[in-house]
Chains A and B, each alone.
Chain A
Amino acid sequence: METSLASRSLGQPGFLSDVRAFYAVLRREWTIFTRYPSWIIALFIWPLIFPMMYILTARALSGPDGSGLAVFITTTGATDYIGYIIVGTTVWMWQNIVLWDVGFSLRNEQMRGTLESNWLSPTWRFSYLLGQTGPQIVSMVMFIGITALEFGLLFGVRLNGSAWMIALMMLAAIPAIYGLGFAFASLVITVKEANAFVFLIRGMVMIFCGITFPVAILPGWMQSFAKWLPQTYLIHGMRTAAFSNAGIKELLPDLIPLLIFGMFWLAVGYFTFLWMERRARKTGAIGQY
């Protein structure tokens, strides 16, 4: 029998409690993710399908004897056109998946009906969004690993650079890529339907950031615009890290802007979330679908 409830509340607020709550969100997401077994199939098929489109186009354009590749090598400085393409397409895919997964995470909760139930607890609300990134990053690392493995086995693509430098580039890109995802997630809650925005953003990355070609071939105004997209630096830096023996010094021209963009997009993501949270309390948007 329970008595004198006011003095016996079991909640113990504090920093550690918020960390535990964040971990709980992370674990919940991972558990739910693993309970949809179709992700395993997607994880093996998608890394092959998307780049294949560009690789086969490149093969067709290079001519029957592959002589056209010489022009590509001159323009890009890359001897392995397949490796060149898969770095670009993998970055594109990363941003694309983040927009769908993280960007629609709160919206999915809203449609499931669980968002309000989370919102009722005294936990720091940004944890709900932050917690979605953990399993997403793990699955993305697996995606990149499987991409490297599949193209290594099937096409003989070899990464000559340091795995540490590749990891460093990816790490530096996390704030920018996920910051954009956070901002996006908050907007989706408000506007409900945002497929058009996903298509716009990934289209911009596809055209301006040089996923299968060097940015240098773009007209001047497009090159200027590309400089404002963090994915441009990530793709360039990843190619440098993966296919040359570049160290941190060589990667700095890409790392620094990437980190600056990261801080910017994280701040944008956080403040958009705060704005959305405040607006939702006024309009009741959290419970509507």
Chain B
Amino acid sequence: MSQFAVEAHQLVKKFPARPGTGDRPSPAGRGDTGEGSESAPSPKKKRWQFWKKESKAIFTAVSGVDIQIQRGEIFGLLGPNGAGKSTTIRMLCTLLEPTSGTAHVNGYDIVKQANDVRRSLGTVLAGERSIYWKLTGRENLEYFAALYHIPTAIAKKRVDELIERMELKDRANELVEKYSTGMRQRVAIAKALLARPPILLLDEPTLGLDPQAARNLRELIAQLKQEGHTILLTTHYMEEADQLSDRIGIIDTGKIIALDTPAGLKRRIDQKEIIRLEVSGWQAYIGEKLLALQEVENLVAHRQAEADLWEVNMQATDSRAVLPKLVESISQNGTRLVNMNIVKPSLEDVFIHLTGKALRD
């Protein structure tokens, strides 16, 4: 048996882009989780369209991903929407065939031994519609137990066990359409656990959940690791990746741009300080002015929920020296500094440091 639970080498996925529109395909299927790298579609193949020959542009969603996930580890794949997370997951769970490169899951080749890969995996894809809303929670689990080839008697016990564990006992015989989003997600996770697969692929598992449900789910994921599951988790929530992952791969434009433990990643910008400002009446030219200061780099500004209030993050080599200059540059022409903090670097700051943009961009 392979020493790695998941091993990918130079995994590439290219899709034909819709010609003429500049649209990118949505290999992940759902509009809200559509993946793809930022690389521009490149004309490659020709195809006939009635009377005229038209270029068929190729869009690279994943561009040479290398991952090695140890058994029993939680590996977080962190990146913004469209970075290639879901496409990578879809290749690993055999829904998509890579254009090139190889990958093994539980020692099985994802192309040549696809069915063995499926037996080794429990997968929760992004979105809550992976179960049947016109079936009850119990009926859903019994149905998927049969699809995962679990003998009937064992399946019944296992379904009861998971219903109990997911705290669905009182409502297991109600139609899923009456469930809350969090309950549906629990059924989806129970479905992934049915056959006791050694490896779990969780694609944005807390997406759309309320804070309490997301917290409960994170606790469950931590428990599943304790029980010996290897977990590949994709998320664009940095706190989630930070809290749960043993190691994190930061993915952007289809490439892994950094891979380390959360602490290791943060150490990369240890010598830098993060200055977080709240500014009223922020103007883009102020950002340019601040970036012109020698001590400041990687400045990112976001409008907050309150009207005209902006959160401005930047990395500085010597915050003491730069603070007076910041205050002076900002407090002009009606722009006002409301709040200011110097904080420890987070994974988001690491991401900004590596890419020059924020995770939520």
- The answer to whether B119 and A122 touch across the interface, beta carbons within 8 angstroms, is yes
Q: How far is the CA of A282 from the CA of B155 in the complex (A)?
A: 33
Nearest residue, chain A, Cβ from B136: A31
Q: How far is the CA of A143 from the CA of B229 in the complex (A)?
A: 50
Q: How far is the CA of A11 from the CA of B28 in the complex (A)?
A: 27
**Binary contact readout A55-90 vs B (1 if CB under 8 angstroms, 0 otherwise):** 000000000000000000000000000000000000
- The answer to whether A120 and B93 touch across the interface, beta carbons within 8 angstroms, is yes
- The answer to whether B227 and A24 touch across the interface, beta carbons within 8 angstroms, is no
- The answer to whether A116 and B29 touch across the interface, beta carbons within 8 angstroms, is yes
B window 7-30: CB within 8 A of A: 15-16, 25-30
Nearest residue, chain A, Cβ from B1: A6
- The answer to whether A32 and B134 touch across the interface, beta carbons within 8 angstroms, is yes
A249 in the interface (beta carbon within 8 A): no
> What count of chain A residues pass the 8 Å CB interface test?
45
- The answer to whether B148 and A6 touch across the interface, beta carbons within 8 angstroms, is no
Q: How far is the CA of A31 from the CA of B133 in the complex (A)?
A: 12
Q: How large is the interface on B (under 10, 10 to 19, 20 to 34, 35 or more residues)?
A: 35 or more
**Binary contact readout A5-16 vs B (1 if CB under 8 angstroms, 0 otherwise):** 110111111100
A window 271-289: CB within 8 A of B: 281-284, 286-289
A245 in the interface (beta carbon within 8 A): no
- The answer to whether B149 and A123 touch across the interface, beta carbons within 8 angstroms, is yes
Main SS of the interface on chain B? loop
- The answer to whether A283 and B228 touch across the interface, beta carbons within 8 angstroms, is no
- The answer to whether B106 and A6 touch across the interface, beta carbons within 8 angstroms, is yes
- The answer to whether A28 and B149 touch across the interface, beta carbons within 8 angstroms, is no
Known A-B contacts A6-B106, A20-B146; A117 and B131 likewise in contact (beta carbons under 8 Å):
yes
Provide the residues of chain A in CB contact with B139, threshold 8 Å.
28, 31
Contact of B149 among A21, A31, A32, A118 (CB under 8 A): A21
Known A-B contacts A11-B148, A284-B90; A24 and B143 likewise in contact (beta carbons under 8 Å):
yes
Distance in Å from the Cβ of B129 to the closest Cβ of chain A?
Answer: 3
- The answer to whether B229 and A5 touch across the interface, beta carbons within 8 angstroms, is yes
- The answer to whether A5 and B151 touch across the interface, beta carbons within 8 angstroms, is no
Distance in Å from the Cβ of A1 to the closest Cβ of chain B?
Answer: 6
Q: How far is the CA of A281 from the CA of B27 in the complex (A)?
A: 10
- The answer to whether B150 and A12 touch across the interface, beta carbons within 8 angstroms, is yes
- The answer to whether B131 and A284 touch across the interface, beta carbons within 8 angstroms, is no
Known A-B contacts A5-B197, A32-B132, A114-B130; A11 and B16 likewise in contact (beta carbons under 8 Å):
no
A residues at B contact (CB < 8 Å): 1-6, 8-14, 17-18, 20-21, 23-25, 27-28, 31-32, 35-36, 112-114, 116-123, 281-284, 286-289
Provide 6 A-B residue pairs closer than 8 Å at the C-beta atoms, listed in order of the A residue: A17-B149, A27-B143, A28-B132, A32-B134, A114-B132, A286-B95
